[in-house]
Amino acid sequence: MTANFDSPSVLSMHDAGVHFDGVKAVDGVSLSVSRGEVLGLIGPNGSGKTTTLNLLSGMLRPTVGAVMLDDSDLSRLSMRKRVHAGVVRTYQSGRVFERLTVFENVEVAALGAGLRRGAARAAARSTLTQLGLDDVADLPADSLTAGRIRTTAIARALAAQPRFLLLDEPAAGQNETEAVQLIESIRGFAREHGIGVLLVEHDMPVVMGTCDRLHVLDSGRTVIEGEPQRVRKDPQVIEIYFGKRA
Ligand X SMILES: Nc1ncnc2c1ncn2[C@@H]1O[C@H](COP(=O)(O)OP(=O)(O)OP(=O)(O)O)[C@@H](O)[C@H]1O
Q: Which residues bind ligand X (CB under 6 A)?
A: 20, 23, 25, 43, 45-51, 202
Strand order in the sheet with 38-42: 87-89, 164-168, 196-200, 38-42, 213-218, 221-226
CB atoms within 10 A of CB 73: 11
Q: Give the nearest distance from C-beta 139 to ligand X in angstroms.
A: 30
Q: Give the nearest distance from C-beta 153 to ligand X in angstroms.
A: 18
Q: Which amino acid is at 144?
A: L
Q: Give the nearest distance from C-beta 23 to ligand X in angstroms.
A: 5
Q: Report the C-alpha gap between 2 and 7 in whole angstroms.
A: 11
Q: Give the nearest distance from C-beta 109 to ligand X in angstroms.
A: 25
Nearer to ligand X, 20 or 242 (CB): 20
Q: Give the nearest distance from C-beta 30 to ligand X in angstroms.
A: 16
Nearer to ligand X, 35 or 49 (CB): 49
Nearer to ligand X, 108 or 217 (CB): 217
Nearer to ligand X, 48 or 170 (CB): 48
Measured between alpha carbons, how far is residue 38 from residues 9, 103, 183, 214 in Å? 14, 26, 9, 9
Cβ contact 29:17 at 8 Å: yes
Cβ contact 9:71 at 8 Å: no
Nearer to ligand X, 178 or 203 (CB): 203
Cβ contact 226:39 at 8 Å: no
Q: Give the nearest distance from C-beta 92 to ligand X in angstroms.
A: 8
Q: Give the nearest distance from C-beta 50 to ligand X in angstroms.
A: 3
**4 φ, ψ (degrees, to nearest 5):** -125, 110
Q: Report the C-alpha gap between 131 and 199 in whole angstroms.
A: 16
Measured between alpha carbons, how far is residue 207 from residues 5, 108, 192, 228, 232 in Å? 26, 30, 20, 8, 11
CB atoms within 10 A of CB 129: 13
